[in-house]
Amino acid sequence: MSNRADNLRDQLNELTQLYSNKFRNELVSVEGITRSQRYLNLIIFFIVVSASLGLVSIIIIRSITRPLQKAAALAGAMANGDLSHKLDVHQKDEIGELAQAMNIMAEKIEESHSGLEQKLAIINNILDIAKIEAGMNDFISKPLKQSKLFSVLSKYGG
């Protein structure tokens, strides 16, 4: 019996060794997979964070550049004499303040321009009246000059 027990013990030790080696190999394999998975998770995390930061950056940049482009277009229109454009920017930051200031500036320039046009119209009316008066003076003075010339000529026997 002891021989048989030793034989069974040896077989049990062999099986234990075999399964122990297989278990170690599986652990090493799982450990490698886990490490690879961890690296993959880190890479995916950094990609997601980078993409999110990029998206937020684009949104922030657009919220700044679009109103500035509108402001530049307004300035160009004003430079070309079109004072009817207004900025439609409803931000509560510095960009919004700039847009509001440009709208007020456009209104003030338009008011000033309208006032100047009214004054110019008055001046043109005054000039027209002055031209009419000058023409009337010529009309009246020519016969007088001619009659004076006639009287001078008649004095000298002409």
4-32 tens-digit pLDDT: 888 888 888 988 898 888 888 888 888 88
Distance from C-alpha of 52 to C-alpha of 57, rounded to nearest angstrom: 8
Q: How many domains does the chain have?
A: 1
pLDDT at site 51 = 97
- The answer to whether residue 137 scores a pLDDT higher than 90 is no
pLDDT at site 131 = 77
What does the angle CA 59 – CA 61 – CA 62 come to, to the nearest 5 degrees? 65
CA 18, distance to chain mean position in Å, is 72
**In this structure, how many other beta carbons lie within 10 angstroms of the beta carbon of residue 86?**
14
| Domain span holding position 25 | 2-155
154 contact partners, CB below 8 Å, separation of at least 6:
none
Distance from C-alpha of 150 to C-alpha of 154, rounded to nearest angstrom: 6
